[in-house]
Each structure stands twice: as structure tokens, then as C-alpha cells.
Amino acid sequence: MDTKLSKVMTPREKLIVAKKSETVDKNDLRATNKIIKKNNLDTLPIVDADDKVVALVTDSDLQKNEQFPLATKNSNKQLRVFIAVESRLKLAQERIKKAITAGVDGIIIDASVVFREQLEIAKWVKQNFPKLEVVVGNVDSSEMVEKIMEEGFKYCDAIKVGIGPGAACITQQELGTGRAQASAVWDCVKAAKKLEKKYGFLPIIADGGIRIADTIDQDIAKPGDITKALALGAQTVMMGSLLAGLDESPGEKEFDYEENRMVKKYRGMGSIEAMEKRGALRYGIEKMKVKIPEGKVIKVPYRGSGYDFIPKLIAGVKQSFQKQGFRNIKELQEEADIRPI
């Protein structure tokens, strides 16, 4: 170990770097990408005004951009990130300010059933951070969508639809609140379309109710419910239990001897376990002494890595479109034959 670092490391005067003031501070990594490509680098140091390294950009960032072209990214080719915030103005303000510092793209004002304070939060966000996107919810009727569009359209960028359809949600059973997800999406989409000429386009997110076959020998995802949600008019779907079994999701996998397979624990935000943390805020019952659970803790099959599982979902949706003769979502929503049973 007698070799000096100066003998194996690139001298500073020959080292290619990028300035923090021209990249990180501007939230612009396109300049770094150009430098990496031009000089055929695998790593590019980012230095501050004192010539100290503050960040590294690698060629793997470029490779991921090419490898995952369908990933939702901003103009800077960074993954778009949304966070959930409480439906309490003061609590939400605190979290949103921290989120802005971290560079998030949007927030989801999270509650099992939408209520007026969400619109107050949305208004505050747009007044203080106009570029931050805001999603409100949840709703399950045309009346709720109409009220939001009439009073808060200019503050909202999307609405989440779904009260009780989630795999770990028991709101419908415990409180008699909610409805079947397909009819909820259909009803809310019609309301949004009816008011589109007056206010503008407002995307609908189908939150919950997306299920696939759950068998021990399962090896291929069957994403039929995704196609159905899109056909009913949703612009996108939101999934919990379906993705909870992936390596990238929170929690450790374990072997279930009763079912003879690997599983992961998944808790609904309305479960007692979640309410003991911050879940009670989501349901507006944090001050109640007796809390009725609106969710439960379940076990979901371990599904391995999202790098393997999600491409199967995408391929399944594409194949579903092919079987029905649709080339894109627009054609599906305009021409799909939907009949109540």
C-alpha cells in the first residue's frame, strides 16, 4: 500500500467537472448529460464555488432514461414525485414547505372522503406554489365532482375516485359509505365531461379496485381491471395492494406456512395499526377516543422486483387493447362497448 493516490487518481487540472450553480441550483441536468456524452464519461462530479464535490451524475442516469422510456419524468428527465399530505391546513402547510425544498412535483391531499378543507389547502398551495400540482379526493359521485369543479377547479389538477374499493379498505362494510368502483368512475367521469366546456379538462384517477389473479402458482399479471378503469374514462389508475408485494415497496417478505408461499404485510390506512401512527388524520377522527377501523392489515403475495412485474402489467394492458381493436386510450374511451350487467 505504498502507492500514493496522486499516482492513480486524475489530477484536478485534468478532471472534467460541472458547476453546481449551472446544474443543481437550476434543477437542470441536461447540461451534465451533454458533458458526459461529449467526453464519454461514466461519472461527472458537480462542484460548488469552493471547488468542493457536492454531487455526482453517472452514465447510469442516461442508461435508465433509455431503458425506461415510459417512466413519468419531468422536463429535466427526473422521475416525477408526488407526496400525500394531511387534509388539515396547518399540518399540510408544514409538510408541503418541506416537500418544496426537496423538489417534489405535486401533492395529494389525502382523505378517505373529500371535504371542504381540502379546497382551502389547494387554494393555499396554488397561491404560494403555483407550479405545484394538486390532487384532491376521494369522491365517488357526480355531485361531489361538480362541487369541486364549481368551487375549486382553478386550484385542482386532478380528482381521485374511490371510496371503499381497496383490498385493505372496509369503509363500505363498516360505515355503509361508498359504492362499487366501476359505477363510481363512470359517474364521476360523466360529471367532469359535462362541465369541461365551462371550466376545462380535469383528469380522473381511479383509486382502488384494481385486482389480478391471486394464486399460489401465479406467474403472469392479469391487468384486466386497469383496462376497464381506462375504458370507463379514468386517465390513470392508482394501485396499492397490487404493488405492495414488490421488493421496492415497504416491508419485509416472509414465508406464510398456512398458504405455503412468500408474502408481505400490507396495511390499509384506515386500519388500527395505521391509525396509531398518522392514519387517523386521513379519516378525520384523530381526536376521537373510540376509533372504528376503515381498513385492515392483509397479506399479499410476494411478487419479486418491480423491474420484472411492471413490464408485465404494461404488456397486459397493450395486449388487452389489441384484443379489442383499440390503438390507444382515446379510441378505447370513445368506442368501448360498456354495458351494465
80 is catalytic: no
211 is catalytic: no
Q: What DSSP state is assigned to residue 78?
A: P
Active-site pick, 88, 156, 188, 282: 282
Radius of gyration of the chain (CA): 23
Query: Which residue's entry shows cell 361531489?
Result: 144
Distance CA 129, CA 207 (A): 25
* 208 SS3 class: coil
Active-site pick, 169, 188, 267, 303: 169
What nine digits make up the cell of 177?
A: 359509505
Q: Is the dihedral of CA 187, 111, 137, 248 positive or negative?
A: negative
Number of H-type helices and E-type strands within the chain: 15, 12
Beta bridge mates, 255: 262
- Please state, in angstroms and as integers, the Cα–Cα distance from residue 214 to each residue in 136, 211, 317, following that order: 31, 8, 18
Active site residues: 169, 282
